[in-house]
Amino acid sequence: MQLLAAPTVVLGGRLVRPGWILFDEIIHEIGEGYPPARVRDVANVTTLPEGVLSPGLVDIQVNGAFGVDFAAASDAEWVRVAQLMPSTGVTAFVPTFITASIQELSGNLAIYSALRSRLDVAPGAARTLGVHLEGPFLAERRRGAHRAELLSDPEPALVAALLDAADGALTYMTLAPERAGALEAIAQLTSAGVRVALGHTDADAQTIRAAANAGASLVTHLYNAQRPMRHRDPGTVGAALTDPRLTCGLIVDLHHVSSIAVEVAFRASAGDIALVSDAVAAMGMPAGSYELGGERVDVAPGLPPRRADGTIAGSALQMDEAIANSVLHCGVDLRSAINSATQIPAHSVGRSDLGLLAPGATADLTWLGDDLMTCATWVGGQIAWSCDQITWSRDHELASSARVSA
């Protein structure tokens, strides 16, 4: 049994100063203040010297990372990315495939489905939570970096083909609700246990509400590639921010969305905001050229990835950076930012056991330093990554035990 105490802990979605948790594979007990002697006596004790102990970060939109594009990844590359994700604070994520042919998407789904059990047991790896398909049922006018010639209406047979290929591994799909047959497709997907996100859409507010009525529950990267809000035309953005049934993904890299727009979203959302990275292979890598869905994207220092025509294509954002940007540059309070990177995204894809520190929850944890960047992560109660493994396993733990006992 392990005991972690910290100056600040996010317990049940609340900031507690100080606080502690007792855990092995799952969390057994939590508390405010300093841990009592009865808890210290049955556990290996560590006190974190600074920062905040958070639930493990959950990223529900990841196209690739660390030089790997999931659409073209080998089995070994899938495992390597999953094992590197904890270095960014992420303990669970949803890999994303963008628009391609139905045949290619079906092949990608089948590869992931076959590989999933291996990913689940890879040592030190972040969990994968099924797949997100972003396309091909998107609006041409709001297609962004998606290839126009591959977009189509969500005909029942096409949706069925993707469901069959996924074999239960499809967690959610992004579509444009104004496309012919989209409302019927939402019903088809949700009846199969697949959540639906609204994105890359030019839909007006009434169509967004109709899609939510049909069962849609998410919005993909709020503001980006969707009909904006105007005073006589609330558009996708206005409808999304005022509908409590819709969880809105938001890319806070300070390029996709301005800091004021981020603050507006957090203040206005009647549902919830889920921070997402929308990361591509460039995440965790130096500036250069990478792939997204088989197409080249270029990354200049300090800027997001772009296609040759200048279109932004995903990001190189890390989830811990998204929290730091939200708090330090966008006026978002720490509790809200962390909840939007943990509990809210986890719950939006049906994982109520992840994204929170509470008795019975899975012991996926992230320690963020005072700068809100990742210092260490635990997956299923086991240390998956830390910034200084030697200090962690020896001197720091001994010093920490003495500090708690005092």
**Which residues are catalytically annotated?**
278
Helix ranges (DSSP H) in 215-276: 235-242, 259-268
Q: Cα separations (Å) of 255 from 305, 322, 372?
A: 10, 12, 19
Name which of 344, 356, 141, 321 is nearest 249 in CA terms.
Answer: 344
Q: Which two tokens stand for residue 109?
A: 């789904």
Among the listed residues 245, 264, 278, the one whose alpha carbon sits nearest the alpha carbon of residue 348:
245
Structure tokens at 212: 């939510």
Residue type, 5: A
Question: Is the CB of residue 61 less than 8 Å from the CB of residue 277?
Answer: yes
Q: Cα separation of 50 and 44, whole Å?
A: 19
CA atoms within 13 A on the CB side of 389: 5
Residue 197 in contact with residue 220, Cβ under 8 Å? Answer: yes
Residues in the chain: 406
- Rounded CA-CA distance 132/316 in Å is 18
Nearest Cα residue to 318 out of 307, 304, 328, 298: 304
Spatial contact of 55 and 62, defined as CB atoms under 8 Å apart: no
- Bridge partners of residue 196, in order along the sequence: 173
